[in-house]
Amino acid sequence: MLGPVLLAAARSDAIRRAVSAAPLTRPVVDRFVAGERLDQSLAAVRELTGAGLAVTLDHLGEDVTDKGQVARARDAYLALLEGLRAEGLGQRAELSLKLSAFGLRLPGGGEEFALRSVEPVLAAAEEAGTMVTLDMEDHTAVDGTLAVLAALRGRFPRTGVAVQSYLFRTEDDCRALAAAGCRVRLVKGAYREPASVAYQDKRQVDLAYVRALRVLFAGGAHPMIATHDPRLIAIAEELARRAGRDEDGYEFQMLYGIRTEEQLRLARAGHTMRVYVPYGTDWYGYFMRRLAERPANLGFFARSLLTRG
């Protein structure tokens, strides 16, 4: 029952102000967000890659309200890519971005505007020797995101996309993406979605996740298995074995600050284990969705407040 409450709180400006102003919030947020500045994100990349992990970096921000914010998002990613290039980290660190930060939902914006806005980031990523994955947002953004993906892959074929197993449509989307040979990050989903478009029961979401995984492994996709669930990790390893995929044919992904020992175990076992590292000042919505996803995260937050109180 807490999940819907927390997801609603993620969109509340009043709760955002209260949480952001609380003196005990920052130390807890630091577990899940690698700082607000570029240098802090690069320090996290150096630490993680030094431990044998791969990285995907997300400059936090979405649902922008004007074109000036789009320009700032673009410039933040270009600065990040320059930092990765300068430190020779392009082979171990890719980027994740949300198209709503690039104007997908702006009045007078839309798919064409988002495509033009994000193309310089894709070009710079290619020059830096790395890749970009388009994060998926709520169900109203799926068609637009996939349309932009199709346009980008004509010029940047390594562009990836995230899909969410709790949406009814995702199994069919995976069939199309697998046929196109796309890099596909499969997640369960972290937005509050209506019962008309998404499974509401955790077991149904998990079953849908496995069905989507089967589709991706059976086709030409590069599955990016984004889960912390030990059962789904074991199932993915078995599906990879049955499909004859070696460790270069798929990868695991987990969130920064969650199940760090399991991340290291998978890397030591020879898997590509990519850590999703968010950074930036717009951390509130991301943080609240992480709390909504796992009750254990909320428990950690509460314990940290009590301990520091």
Helix (H) or strand (E) holding 299: helix 295-308
For residues 156 and 282, give the distance between their C-alpha atoms in angstroms, rounded to a whole number. 28
Of the residues 135, 138, 173, 206, which is catalytic? 135
Of the residues 105, 185, 274, 290, which is catalytic? 185
Are 106 and 73 in contact by the 8 Å Cβ rule? The answer is no
How many Cβ atoms are within 10 Å of 158's Cβ, its own excluded? 17
Largest CA distance in the chain: 54
For residues 252 and 226, give the distance between their C-alpha atoms in angstroms, rounded to a whole number. 6
- Whether 268 is a known active-site residue: answer no
- Whether 116 is a known active-site residue: answer no
Quickly list H helices, 157-201: 170-179
For residues 54 and 96, give the distance between their C-alpha atoms in angstroms, rounded to a whole number. 13
For residues 180 and 220, give the distance between their C-alpha atoms in angstroms, rounded to a whole number. 7
Are 40 and 281 in contact by the 8 Å Cβ rule? The answer is no
C-alpha angle 186-191-36 in degrees, rounded to nearest 5: 85
Known catalytic residues?
135, 185
